[in-house]
């Protein structure tokens, strides 16, 4: 099994960021010792009530962590591409890739936060989803072109590079390189530096739960990390990914190859302690999510499996019981958590877990104790080398 983590950053608390960094470094150090592959760092903005006490800049966080650890990879989870200038992303991630000697996983997403995105880019208004998707795909196209072409040009709906009409007048560049300048000096192509350390570039991971995004990623040979969902719903994403990746590679690949699942978990000292500790946090978080989507797509009905009907028991249960029953969250003692991970591996071929514990109101000492139980009692059952090649 490939194990990754998103370190806890104490959502719901407004605490000194120096303390947040200490906690994330501590968790990353433990994960590196346990043989985890990648530590992922998120992007969230403008939560004035402290609910998401999260990093606003995942590239900067990855740089911080890569400088302090020698083995574990660092990943952006994600860079919300429509909110960034694509050339800046290309440069910054390539610099990070060189500074870490190739220990970067490049995670990207279209993003969902309507409040945040229009503060950065009016074209990225999430209320026009089709437009944002076009901007997202164009931004990724620009980044990949910049990483893989010595002389880079782009003309699209949102960006044109180089911007036309500028001529080189600095005599230092004479004689002008015909790859980048016309005879009259007009700038016609760009060189973006540094080049990535990993060739042709860092692994690209799309963060999505949508089958079309999985299909696109497979066709381009990229990975996908989705949030945990019910088994058939997960496979409904993985199968189009498998088909498109197989077509791109020219041979059949196994279901589960190239994909990972981000799962909220907690390993308690007992079942009773685990449920008592995490139930309030899960109920609060999913009520918050449901309220953030006016169309109601994040109600319980949105988490049902394919062809599954809501039962009376489901209607009456709280979010914690509803989700834990389906393995969308995995909360229990070490035996329970191990069994659930084995079940996922055997039934759907899950081979890559991205684990997180972002629970409001749960003391950090409990979060840390859960990580220790995971590292000491559960990870050794699986080993830490992915079987997917």
One DSSP character per residue, 80-96 reads EGGGS-HHHHHHHHHHH
Is 290's pLDDT higher than 60? Answer: yes
Residue 226 included in any domain = no
pLDDT at position 235 is 97
pLDDT tens-digit map of 215-231: 999 999 999 999 999 99
Which contacts of 302-305 are long-range, i.e. CB under 8 A and separated by 24 or more positions? 303/229, 303/230, 303/328, 304/230, 305/230, 305/231, 305/232, 305/233
What is the DSSP code (8-state) at residue 228?
-
336 Cβ contact list (under 8 Å, min separation 6): 271, 274, 330
Is 388's pLDDT higher than 50? Answer: no
d(CA 353, CA 333): 18
Residue 303 included in any domain = no
Compute the radius of gyration of the chain from its Cα atoms. 22
Residue 185 included in any domain = yes
3-state secondary structure of 78: coil
pLDDT at position 87 is 98
pLDDT tens-digit map of 124-146: 888 898 999 999 999 999 999 99
pLDDT tens-digit map of 151-205: 999 999 999 999 999 999 998 989 999 999 999 999 999 999 999 999 999 999 9
Is 98 within 8 Å of 196 (Cβ atoms)? yes
Query: Tokens for 21?
Result: 């960094």
Residue 159 included in any domain = yes
pLDDT at position 7 is 98
pLDDT at position 51 is 61
pLDDT at position 166 is 95
Residue 105 included in any domain = no
> How crowded is residue 105: how many other Cβ atoms within 10 Å of its Cβ?
22
Lowest mean pLDDT among 48-62, 194-208, 293-307: 293-307
Mean pLDDT of all residues in the chain? 93
CA 317 to chain centre: 30
Range of 181's domain? 151-190
172 Cβ contact list (under 8 Å, min separation 6): none
pLDDT at position 101 is 98
d(CA 230, CA 326): 6
Is 45's pLDDT higher than 90? Answer: no
Residue 383 included in any domain = no
What is the DSSP code (8-state) at residue 170?
-
What is the DSSP code (8-state) at residue 329?
E
* Residues in the chain, overall count: 389
pLDDT at position 297 is 57
pLDDT tens-digit map of 91-112: 999 999 999 999 999 999 998 7
Q: Report the share of the chain in percent with pLDDT over 90.
A: 83
- At how many degrees (to 10) do helices 129-148 and 86-99 cross? 50
Is 313's pLDDT higher than 50? Answer: yes
| pLDDT tier for residue 49 given thresholds of 50, 70 and 90 | low
| pLDDT tier for residue 9 given thresholds of 50, 70 and 90 | very high
pLDDT at position 389 is 38
Lowest mean pLDDT among 12-26, 97-111, 331-345: 12-26
Is 9 within 8 Å of 23 (Cβ atoms)? yes
- Block residue for tokens 């760092």: 41
d(CA 210, CA 215): 9
Considering only residues 301 and 246, tell me which one the structure prediction assigns the higher pLDDT.
Answer: 246
| pLDDT tier for residue 48 given thresholds of 50, 70 and 90 | low
Picking from 140, 132, 145, 131, the residue whose alpha carbon sits closest to that of residue 107 is: 140
| pLDDT tier for residue 289 given thresholds of 50, 70 and 90 | confident
Overall average pLDDT of the 81-98 stretch: 97
DSSP secondary structure, 227-288, as one string: E---HHHHHHHHHHHHHHHHHHHTS---TTTTEEEEEEEEE-SSHHHHHHHHHHHHHHHHHH
pLDDT tens-digit map of 107-124: 999 987 777 778 888 888
340 Cβ contact list (under 8 Å, min separation 6): 327, 330, 332
- Block residue for tokens 């433990």: 30
Lowest mean pLDDT among 38-47, 266-275, 343-352: 38-47
pLDDT at position 112 is 77
Residue 91 included in any domain = no
pLDDT at position 288 is 76
Is 240 within 8 Å of 257 (Cβ atoms)? no
Is 260's pLDDT higher than 70? Answer: yes
pTM score, whole prediction: 0.94
Number of domains in the chain: 1
Residue 369 included in any domain = no
């Amino acid at each position: 099994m490939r194990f990754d983590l998103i370190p806890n950053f104490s959502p719901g608390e407004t605490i000194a960021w120096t303390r947040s960094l200490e906690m994330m470094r501590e968790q990353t150090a433990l994960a590196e010792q346990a043989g985890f592959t990648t530590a992922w760092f998120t992007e969230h903005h403008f939560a004035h009530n402290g609910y998401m006490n999260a990093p606003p800049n995942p590239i900067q966080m990855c740089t911080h962590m890569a400088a302090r650890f020698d083995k574990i990879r660092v990943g952006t989870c994600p860079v919300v591409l429509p909110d960034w200038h694509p050339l800046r992303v290309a440069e910054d991630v390539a610099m990070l890739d060189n500074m870490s000697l190739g220990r970067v996983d490049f995670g990207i997403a279209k993003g969902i936060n309507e409040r945040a995105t229009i503060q950065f880019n009016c074209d990225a208004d999430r209320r026009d989803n089709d437009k944002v998707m076009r901007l997202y795909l164009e931004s990724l196209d620009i980044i990949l072109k910049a990483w893989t072409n010595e002389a880079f040009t782009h003309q699209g709906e949102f960006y044109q590079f180089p911007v036309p009409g500028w001529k080189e007048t600095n005599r230092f560049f004479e004689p002008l390189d015909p790859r980048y300048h016309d005879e009259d000096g007009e700038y016609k192509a760009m060189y973006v530096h540094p080049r990535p350390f990993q060739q042709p570039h860092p692994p690209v991971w799309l963060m999505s739960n949508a089958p079309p995004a999985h299909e696109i990623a497979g066709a381009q040979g990229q990975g996908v990390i989705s949030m945990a969902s019910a088994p058939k719903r997960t496979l409904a994403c993985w199968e189009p990914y498998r088909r498109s990746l197989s077509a791109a590679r020219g041979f059949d690949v196994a279901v589960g190859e190239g994909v990972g699942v981000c799962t909220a978990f907690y390993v308690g000292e007992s079942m009773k302690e685990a449920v008592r500790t995490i139930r309030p946090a899960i109920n609060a978080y999913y009520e918050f999510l449901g309220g953030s989507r006016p169309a109601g797509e994040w109600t319980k009905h949105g988490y049902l499996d394919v062809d599954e009907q809501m039962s009376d028991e489901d209607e009456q249960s709280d979010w914690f019981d509803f989700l834990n029953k389906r393995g969308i969250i995995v909360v229990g003692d070490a035996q329970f958590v191990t069994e659930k991970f084995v079940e996922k591996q055997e039934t759907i071929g899950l081979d890559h877990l991205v684990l997180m514990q972002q629970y409001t109101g749960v003391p950090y000492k409990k979060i840390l104790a859960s990580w220790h139980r995971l590292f000491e009692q559960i990870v050794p059952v699986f080993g830490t080398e992915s079987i997917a090649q």
